[in-house]
Amino acid sequence: MNSLLERIMIDTAICHGKPVIRGRRYPVEAILEYLAAGDSMEEVLAEFPDLEREDLLACLEFAAQSLKLKSQHLVLT
């Protein structure tokens, strides 16, 4: 298993079972939204000082691996 992915956890007791970073209450989805909105890694790390660069890379790796596993449907809201 990719060592970055070891930073991502899924636990039904944390954030309703959504993937989170290192068991903390930082959903992968939220971090990806910051990055997709144009925030740099440095900006995200400044906003959340207890996160590490590898945590952000783990979120990106998780998203990439997730896309390989199943088909995706774009949901417009």
In sequence order, what are the beta bridge partners of 9?
Answer: 20
* Per-residue confidence (pLDDT) for residue 70, from 0 to 100: 66
- CA-nearest of 71, 65, 58 to 31 is 58
Residue position matching structure tokens 């890694």: 41
Backbone angles phi and psi of 51, in degrees to 5: -90, 160
* Per-residue confidence (pLDDT) for residue 72, from 0 to 100: 60
Residue 22 region, left (φ>0) first, then alpha (ψ -120 to 50), else beta?
A: left
pTM of the complete model: 0.84
* Per-residue confidence (pLDDT) for residue 67, from 0 to 100: 84
Domains of the chain: 3-69 (1.10.10.10)
Per-residue model confidence as pLDDT tens digits over 6-65: 999 999 999 999 999 998 999 999 999 999 999 999 999 999 999 999 999 999 999 998
Per-residue model confidence as pLDDT tens digits over 30-44: 999 999 999 999 999
